[in-house]
Chain A
Amino acid sequence: MAESMNTDFLVIGSGIIGSLAARKLALAGASVLILEAGPRVTRGEIVSRFRNSTRRSDLMSPYPSVPTAPHPIYQPTDSGYLVQAGPYPYPAEYIRQFGGTTWHWAAQAWRNVPNDFRLHSLYGVGVDWPISYADLEPYYQEAEEIMGVSGADNTGSPRKQPFPMEPVIEPYAMRRVRERLAPQYKVVSNTTARNSVGYGGRPACCGNNNCQPICPVDAQYHGGIAALQAEAAGVTIRVNANVYQLEHDAQGRITAALYYDADKKSHRVTAKTFILAANGIESPRLLLLSASSKYPKGLANSSDMVGRHLMDHPSTSLTFDADEDLWLGRGPQSPSSIGTMRDGDFRGQHAAYRLDFTNISRVDGATKDLISRAVFGEEFERQLRFASAREMSLKTVLEVLPDPENRITLSSEKDSMGIPKPQAHYAIGEYTRLGHERAQKDFAAIARLMGGTNLRPSKEGAYANNQHICGTLSMGRDPAASVCNEWGRAHDHANLFFCSTGVLPTCGTCNSTENGVALALRTVDHILAEQGIKPGTAAAAAGAPA
């Protein structure tokens, strides 16, 4: 084994959060290396894979798993990488590749609402965050300026500075939904890392309706861009570097990371400070894999909290035919939602939720449905146009409470690199189910207001997953009940930090990425101050518009 490299800061994972943390460190003059398990892939390759895909609605289709850094794949068959311990399936999707999973996000860049930070104090459920909304507000802004977030100031998350740009123009279909649901429901534009004007050297959206699985023009920000920006700031990113173990010294300081290259040759990298940014599943997996005689339960795990409190956003949905032509599929895919149930006293009894409208083209889905029903000939053409014009769908984005029994552990099975696979233990609790039940009233009212017919609710008891993996590295004040402190530092290791959605102590009702990025930017500020390093200039750090 070669002593292959030494660095000040070693970041494990080149996703949007790890890359932006690394970039901020590099802009301050630090020496930073990122080890990325997966390969380097370009946008052009991914667009080509999408257009040649046999499963265009499978968001993972353009992101095949590679044997040297496998990730979960479920279609056409489950690769079995993420082992399911039950009782409820948790088919999380993520991408191990240069830039990570946000290559195929919908660019939903939400802030929490302030009360999300005080769930236990206010409503007697879940836990409080160790910080407040006010603590995080400047870092939300910093994240939004780097990512280029567009939005309007009507979503319940107060701000001191304006959005970097106005919301992307509302698609016709969403305008009709907003008009017809008013005044009973207030439909708002989603805040998204999607350009409504040229920003950061990237163009405004031109309505390709392919935000997931790949924006073909980079009108939306994603981890691939973050990783390139990190490199431009001086970060070295080594791909095909699958970290399988962290080493520590007698004092509990992390000393080195061991990784396999694509030939399964092992390398060792030493560093002064380690940042684990390998998502909410791979990060706890690595901590558990790094068990030693001093830390038999794994690193950062004296509390036995690593991997526990796994949360995501389960969704239930209603699809129906509106009584007018809407033609979903023009403009961005996920432009509008209803946020009135994101907070309220009801959170003592049931889950909060957002109601999210899709604007994804119905054409492929309707085609498959018609073929399965053997509708052929001119009738196919007639029905395809009808479904494409009239079909609409909305879903709940339900809060899940942190439950220690929902967790990531190591499986007894090994992956293609001979490393124990991650294993998910997951259940949908009564709190979440009651939120779904409450949302049925909204579903019914919205269908009525849209003149809906042919109502097709999701199957009762079935929850779709949203890939917002949270909680498994949770931050908190009590070292016995959390994994890291408010700065993302492991309670057990002075030089190990977590930059990941895994640190979120509760999941709220919004996509987790912006919370993860903002917390990471705050963590980096703390590290820089602690080490006496002057931050990079604000303009450079914010990635000002080109």
Chain B
Amino acid sequence: MTTDSAIAAITETSARPFNPGRRLLLGALLSASAAALVPWALAEPVDNAEQGAFLGVSALLVGRLALEPGLAQRLYDALVAQNAQFPTQASALLAQINERGLTAATLQPALDEAQSPLAPLPRQIAGAWFLGIVGSGENAVCVAYEEALNATIVGDILKPPSYADGAYGSWATKPEGAGHG
């Protein structure tokens, strides 16, 4: 998708029920190159630039998966609760992505190469979205389980553990979409 069509997508979805006077659209925070990587996310409403930076980085890290706004808010709040510098750091990270044209594949190597203090951020944000867990060790908190993106990525075939596969024996058949070879 081109930036133009991404902007068109924003226009299409701007009728969603939120107050545009109080919010930004994520697309406004991204450079053209970053926007081109996450065109589907450009219409996400954000409360402020810091939260927008979190969403922008998130969009890059999670690929083409939808960022559910309620979950985004809970993850953001949890990340901020663990690290008061998180909003500033997320903004700085997005700035680097914008300026250097970094992608999901090049982001971490670039931060590691530069020995950047922002280097832990991608894994923290990815862990929040993919596992639903923010923080580590004794300080870790579980923000999501069934909605964590690693569950939704395979949700067409696997239920999150502790949820029934189906009636007795539903697991005996080849799952839809499973191929040989």
What is the chain B residue whose CB lies nearest that of A359?
Answer: B171
Q: A169-B171, A171-B171 are in contact. Are A381 and B104 (CB under 8 A)?
A: no
* A120 beta carbon closer than 8 Å to chain B: no
Taken together as a complex, chains A and B put the C-alpha atoms of A210 and B162 apart, in Å, by 5
What is the chain B residue whose CB lies nearest that of A374?
Answer: B108
Residue among B104, B133, B158, B167 with max Cβ neighbours from chain A (10 Å): B158
The interface on chain A, measured as residues whose beta carbon lies within 8 A of the other chain's beta carbons, has a size of: 54
* B173 beta carbon closer than 8 Å to chain A: yes
Q: A175-B172, A377-B63 are in contact. Are A214 and B142 (CB under 8 A)?
A: no
What is the chain A residue whose CB lies nearest that of B179?
Answer: A325
| Cross-chain contact B171 with A331 (CB below 8 angstroms) | yes
A369 CB → nearest B CB, Å? 11
Q: Which of A326, A360, A377 contacts B104 (CB 8 A)?
A: A377
* A1 beta carbon closer than 8 Å to chain B: no
For A53, what are the chain B residues with a Cβ–Cβ distance below 8 Å? 142
Taken together as a complex, chains A and B put the C-alpha atoms of A209 and B126 apart, in Å, by 25
Residue among A170, A327, A361, A377 with max Cβ neighbours from chain B (10 Å): A377
Taken together as a complex, chains A and B put the C-alpha atoms of A331 and B175 apart, in Å, by 12
For A377, what are the chain B residues with a Cβ–Cβ distance below 8 Å? 37, 60-63, 103-105
* A434 beta carbon closer than 8 Å to chain B: no
| Cross-chain contact A206 with B64 (CB below 8 angstroms) | no
Q: Which of A77, A209, A323 contacts B161 (CB 8 A)?
A: A209
* A363 beta carbon closer than 8 Å to chain B: yes
Q: Compute the total of residue contacts between A and B using a CB distance below 8 Å.
A: 163
Q: Which of A56, A206, A371 contacts B127 (CB 8 A)?
A: A371
Taken together as a complex, chains A and B put the C-alpha atoms of A170 and B103 apart, in Å, by 43
DSSP majority for the B interface? loop
| Cross-chain contact B138 with A77 (CB below 8 angstroms) | yes
* B32 beta carbon closer than 8 Å to chain A: no
Taken together as a complex, chains A and B put the C-alpha atoms of A179 and B109 apart, in Å, by 43
Taken together as a complex, chains A and B put the C-alpha atoms of A204 and B165 apart, in Å, by 13
* A329 beta carbon closer than 8 Å to chain B: yes
* B141 beta carbon closer than 8 Å to chain A: yes
Q: Which of B63, B142, B158 contacts A378 (CB 8 A)?
A: B63
| Cross-chain contact A206 with B167 (CB below 8 angstroms) | yes
* A457 beta carbon closer than 8 Å to chain B: no
For A324, what are the chain B residues with a Cβ–Cβ distance below 8 Å? 178-181
* B22 beta carbon closer than 8 Å to chain A: no
* A479 beta carbon closer than 8 Å to chain B: no
| Cross-chain contact A52 with B142 (CB below 8 angstroms) | yes
For A55, what are the chain B residues with a Cβ–Cβ distance below 8 Å? 140
* A270 beta carbon closer than 8 Å to chain B: no
The interface on chain B, measured as residues whose beta carbon lies within 8 A of the other chain's beta carbons, has a size of: 56
Q: A208-B162, A368-B131 are in contact. Are A172 and B63 (CB under 8 A)?
A: no
For A378, what are the chain B residues with a Cβ–Cβ distance below 8 Å? 63-64, 104
What is the chain B residue whose CB lies nearest that of A173?
Answer: B171
Convert A174-204 into 0s and 1s, putting 1 for each residue whose CB lies closer than 8 angstroms to a CB of B.
Answer: 0100000000000000000000100000001
Q: Which of A204, A209, A360, A380 contacts B130 (CB 8 A)?
A: A380
For B37, what are the chain A residues with a Cβ–Cβ distance below 8 Å? 377
Q: A54-B142, A208-B165 are in contact. Are A330 and B158 (CB under 8 A)?
A: yes
Residue among B60, B107, B168 with max Cβ neighbours from chain A (10 Å): B168
Taken together as a complex, chains A and B put the C-alpha atoms of A376 and B111 apart, in Å, by 14
What is the chain A residue whose CB lies nearest that of B127?
Answer: A371
B37 CB → nearest A CB, Å? 8
B61 CB → nearest A CB, Å? 4
| Cross-chain contact A327 with B63 (CB below 8 angstroms) | no
For B151, what are the chain A residues with a Cβ–Cβ distance below 8 Å? 363
What is the chain A residue whose CB lies nearest that of B38?
Answer: A377
Taken together as a complex, chains A and B put the C-alpha atoms of A363 and B154 apart, in Å, by 8
For B92, what are the chain A residues with a Cβ–Cβ distance below 8 Å? none
User: Of A126-134, A383-391, A497-505, A518-526, which stretch is located at the interface?
Assistant: A383-391
Within 8 A of A (CB), among B74-99: none
For A77, what are the chain B residues with a Cβ–Cβ distance below 8 Å? 137-138
* B164 beta carbon closer than 8 Å to chain A: yes
Taken together as a complex, chains A and B put the C-alpha atoms of A380 and B64 apart, in Å, by 10
| Cross-chain contact A329 with B123 (CB below 8 angstroms) | no
* A255 beta carbon closer than 8 Å to chain B: no
For A537, what are the chain B residues with a Cβ–Cβ distance below 8 Å? none
Q: A54-B141, A363-B150 are in contact. Are A376 and B107 (CB under 8 A)?
A: yes
For A439, what are the chain B residues with a Cβ–Cβ distance below 8 Å? none
Q: A171-B171, A207-B165, A209-B165 are in contact. Are A374 and B181 (CB under 8 A)?
A: no
Q: Which of A47, A51, A206, A368 contacts B166 (CB 8 A)?
A: A206
For A209, what are the chain B residues with a Cβ–Cβ distance below 8 Å? 158-159, 161-162, 165
Taken together as a complex, chains A and B put the C-alpha atoms of A206 and B163 apart, in Å, by 9
For A207, what are the chain B residues with a Cβ–Cβ distance below 8 Å? 164-166, 168, 170-171
What is the chain B residue whose CB lies nearest that of A387?
Answer: B154
* B122 beta carbon closer than 8 Å to chain A: yes
Taken together as a complex, chains A and B put the C-alpha atoms of A433 and B162 apart, in Å, by 36
Q: A207-B164, A368-B131, A384-B154 are in contact. Are A379 and B179 (CB under 8 A)?
A: no
Cross-chain pairs A/B with CB under 8 angstroms, 29 sampled: A50-B162, A55-B140, A77-B137, A77-B138, A172-B171, A175-B172, A206-B167, A207-B166, A207-B168, A207-B171, A208-B161, A324-B178, A325-B177, A327-B157, A327-B178, A331-B165, A331-B171, A363-B150, A367-B131, A371-B123, A372-B123, A374-B123, A376-B60, A376-B104, A377-B37, A377-B60, A378-B64, A380-B130, A384-B154
Q: A171-B171, A209-B158 are in contact. List 12 more A-B contacts (CB 8 A).
A: A56-B161, A172-B178, A207-B170, A324-B178, A327-B175, A330-B170, A330-B171, A363-B158, A377-B103, A380-B130, A384-B130, A388-B157
